[in-house]
Structure formats: C-alpha cells, structure tokens
Amino acid sequence: MAAQNQKKKIVKYRRLPGFNIGTIMFGIIFIYMIICMVMYLTSKKVTAYEVTAGPLSGNYRFTALALKSEQVVNAGQSGTVEYYAREGGKVGSGGNVYSLNEGSVILAEGTGSDTTGAELDAKSMSKIRSSMSSYASNYSNSAFQNVYNFKADIESSILELSNEAVIRQMETAGGTGLVNFCTAPTDGLVVYSIDNYENLTIDDITLESFEQKNYKKENLRLNRQVSTGDPVYKLITDESWSLVIPLDQRLAAELAEKSTVRFRFLKDGTTFNAGFSIVQNNGTYFGKLDISNSLSRFASDRFVEIELVLNRKSGLKIPNTAIAEKIFYKIPKDFVTVNEDSPGEVGILKETYARDGSASTKYVMATVYNKTNSYYLVDSSQFKEGEYVLLKDSSKRYQISETETLQGVYNINKGYAVFREIKVLDENEEYCIVEEGSSYGLAQYDHIALDASDVKDEDIVY
C-alpha cells in the first residue's frame, strides 16, 4: 500500500524550451550582423583619396592653330603633273618639284611612258623599303587617310630618286610631246595641300578660326590634271612659325608676366621652350608661342595638339571632385570659451526657451572650423538664426545672424565624414593645390572622400 502511495506522488518535470542565454546572445549578434550586411550592401559606397604633397603640373591642353610663312605656287600651264619632291622635304631655290607633261613622250628604249620607268639603284631601293617599314610599324586603323598620304609619299620618293635618270633619258628621247620641269622659286618645305589659311595673320584670328568642323583641306596630289593658274603645291619659306591658343581671362592673367613657356607636342611627346606673348582681338585673349624648330614634322598640319607644362605652387594635391561648400555661423570671440585640451572645440552659452516661455541657458560644445581675430566659425547645425548666445558673467547677448561659406573636403580618417576647410592656392582641370599646415585643414596622408556629393557631415563611411 505504501509503495502505491509513493507512485501517486511522482510529478513530471516540465522541460524548458530548447534555448538558453547563450543562444539568445548568439541570435542577437547574428541579427546585428545581418542588419550591418544589409546596410553595407544597400548604402552608397564612398571612394577614399589619400592626400599627397607636391607641385601642380599644369596640364592645359589645347588644339593650337599653326601660323607659317606660306607661299602657294600655281601651274604656269596646263598638263599632267608628276611630283618629285617629298612632302615635308626641303628644296632649294631652283630645285625640281614637279613636271608638266603636255603630251606623249617616248623615252629611251626599255622605259615606259612615265618617269617611274627609270631604274633605281640598291641604295635608292633601300631608302624606299625603310619608308615602307616605318609606315607599317605606325599603321593605325583609325587614320586610314594616312594610306593615301603614304602612297603619295612613296610615289614622290621614287620620282625624286629617279629624277636625275629621267632627265638624262629626256635629253636623248624623241616624241611628239613636251615635258617641262618646274622648279621652286625659293628655298622652303614642300606641302601638297591648301586650306585657305595661308594668308592668315595673328590679327585676323578669332574663336571661329579654331572650329575644325568647317575646316577644309584640299589634297593637291589628287588632281593630276591641272590648268594654268591652278595651285600645284605650296612652300613654307621660313623655319620660324607660331602656334596660337585661345585663353580665358583667368589663364591670361596667370600667363601675363611670362615671356617664355614650356610646352609639349602630344603627337610625339617632345618638349620645347617657346617665346610667349598674349594678343587681344575684339575682347578675346590668345596666346602666341613662337617656335624655331620642328616645323618639318608639322609642315602639313594646320591644327596641332599641345600641352602647356607649367610648374606652379606646391602644397597638398586633391581632386576637384572632393571639394564642397558649407555655411557656418560667425560667433564673436568674446562669446566663446576656448577648450585648452581640445583647441578644435569651444564652449558657448546659448539661450533657450521652454514651452512656457521661460528662458534658460545651455552650455554647448561647438566644433571650430576656422577663426579670425574677431570671430569663430561654428557648425550651423548646432544653432538657429535668431538665437542668442550669452557673454559669460555678463548680461550681454549676441543674436546669431552672420554667416560665411567655406570651401572644404570631407575627412574620413575616423570612419565618418568630418568637414575640413581648405584654401586653394592653384588649380587646373582635374586637381588643385591647397594650403598645408592649417590648424583646421588637411595634412599629408589624410584620407578624404573622392566625391564630396557622396557624403554629408557625420556620415558613417563604409
């Protein structure tokens, strides 16, 4: 009986759910990690830029207009043209440039009816093969027009090399036609194109002169049949030439004191010094670079791509995209208390009002972004226009109203964005040089937001 009573007193143990405090903590951490991951994946990424020190090399690039001493030579009679001189090559006064064939000519036996029938020696053939090899190594699909120029250059080279043999054959040849050899009226570089810019002077140049969409260049070597008075080639009669570039007022002011500038030809990367002057035509500024070399390489070019190389002020180099502007309130120096332990912060007594209209004071720690002999600039988010700040141990009040706009960047060294003022010393199209050593500015190796539009003050940076 006693055993039966004991069995009746057995109570079933209620099992607790299958988790404990460790499981709860792990679940909280897991949820937090999921939230952080979602925030990271959905937030806008901020690209950092490390601030470096050094000079700003000017990379002002221009499409310059070339002014040369050019003389267009016209045909003295009608006929078929055969060119001898190579384009860009120099000919002396009286040198053979082309011939005019007025009819058919029978050359010495074994040659054809044109001058290319003359035999070339091994040295001449080697020179032609070298030209062909140079063209092949520099061939570009994007400049197919060069194929026609190459063809014409090779033809001119062959004719030039065979010139003496042709003359000897012509002296002994008989026929019904007449070939006239036409010589250069003066020394110069031969160019086989015209563009109606030959007589352009610096005083004639306007901004419209640089518009290449309306620019037309005529290749004279495509016109083998000419009439009396037709242009057949032109001579560049002076090794000195000029490049003209348009200038805005800021760059004109920067270069106003310079008599020489250093520049680079973008075509081949060569760099030279040039005499420099500024010309003003109808309120527009133009820079004129006077050059005495390299003309043969650009003899047929009217527009030349160049870069001005200007070594300018040194400082901290930052991209222009990192620059932002922000508005700050001016607080007179008498109304702030300087924090000796943290010079970047000041204490300010601000007058506040309760809902019932009663006034009270609140001590606010404000970040300083700049200061002068008269006032501090503080963040506008901590105050409102029209609020009052109080002078310590006095009844004097100052109503907040005056503002100032500063240029700056967002420093992200600590993982969140902090506005830092900058003072721009120099700039170009992509970068600027800012003052180094400012108490409220940047230092070398600081990390800033590459694009200021991506962040705001106090944003967490991922």
Query: pLDDT digits over 341-398, tens only?
Result: 777 788 888 887 777 777 778 888 888 888 888 898 988 888 888 888 888 878 888 9
More confident: 1 or 156? 156
Q: Choose the most confident range, by mean pLDDT, from 40-54, 74-88, 119-133, 189-203.
A: 189-203
Query: What does the alpha-carbon distance between residue 21 and residue 15 come to, in Å, rounded to a whole number?
Result: 16
What's the confidence (pLDDT) of residue 69? 94
Is residue 339 scored above 90 in pLDDT? Answer: no
Q: What is the rounded average pLDDT of the residues 66-74?
A: 94
Query: What does the alpha-carbon distance between residue 342 and residue 345 come to, in Å, rounded to a whole number?
Result: 6
Query: What does the alpha-carbon distance between residue 353 and residue 361 come to, in Å, rounded to a whole number?
Result: 8
Contact 361, 349 (CB under 8 A): yes
User: Measuring CA to CA, which residue among 157, 162, 153, 178 is closest to residue 115?
Assistant: 162
What percentage of the chain carries pLDDT values higher than 90?
27
Q: Hunting for tokens 């109203």 — which residue is that?
A: 401
Is residue 320 scored above 80 in pLDDT? Answer: yes
Query: What does the alpha-carbon distance between residue 404 and residue 381 come to, in Å, rounded to a whole number?
Result: 14
Residue 68: pLDDT band by 50, 70, 90 thresholds? Answer: very high
What's the confidence (pLDDT) of residue 311? 67
Give Cβ neighbours of residue 221 (< 8 Å, ≥ 6 apart): 83, 152, 192
Query: What does the alpha-carbon distance between residue 395 and residue 388 come to, in Å, rounded to a whole number?
Result: 12
Query: What does the alpha-carbon distance between residue 272 and residue 30 come to, in Å, rounded to a whole number?
Result: 65
User: Which of helix, strand or coil describes residue 2?
Assistant: helix
Taking only the tens place, the pLDDT of each residue in 242-268 is 999 999 988 898 888 889 999 999 888
**Per-residue CA distances from 124 to 119, 127, 128 (Å):** 10, 5, 7
Contact 423, 431 (CB under 8 A): no
Is residue 453 scored above 60 in pLDDT? Answer: yes
What's the confidence (pLDDT) of residue 324? 92
More confident: 157 or 239? 239
Helices (H), 182-229: none
Q: What is the dihedral of CA 438, 443, 448, 450, to 10 degrees?
A: 90
What's the confidence (pLDDT) of residue 99? 84
Mean pLDDT over all residues of the chain?
81
What's the confidence (pLDDT) of residue 117? 47
Residue 176: pLDDT band by 50, 70, 90 thresholds? Answer: very low
Amino acid occupying residue 74: N
Q: What are phi and psi of 92, to 5 degrees?
A: -90, 165
User: Helix crossing, 122-137 with 145-161: angle to 10°?
Assistant: 170
Is residue 65 scored above 70 in pLDDT? Answer: yes
Q: What are phi and psi of 57, to 5 degrees?
A: -85, 125
Contact 66, 205 (CB under 8 A): no
Beta-sheet strands, E only, within 320-454: 324-332, 337-338, 345-353, 359-371, 375-379, 388-390, 397-399, 403-411, 418-421, 424-427, 431-434, 447-449
End-to-end CA distance of the chain: 76
Q: What is the rounded average pLDDT of the residues 451-458?
A: 85
| Residue 39: CB atoms within 10 Å | 11
Query: What does the alpha-carbon distance between residue 322 and residue 338 come to, in Å, rounded to a whole number?
Result: 30
DSSP 67: E
| Residue 270: CB atoms within 10 Å | 12
Taking only the tens place, the pLDDT of each residue in 91-146 is 888 888 888 887 544 333 333 334 444 556 676 677 778 778 777 777 766 555 56
Query: What does the alpha-carbon distance between residue 374 and residue 369 come to, in Å, rounded to a whole number?
Result: 14
Contact 278, 100 (CB under 8 A): no
CA atoms within 13 A on the CB side of 220: 25
Query: What does the alpha-carbon distance between residue 134 and residue 377 come to, in Å, rounded to a whole number?
Result: 65
Q: What is the rounded average pLDDT of the residues 434-443?
A: 83
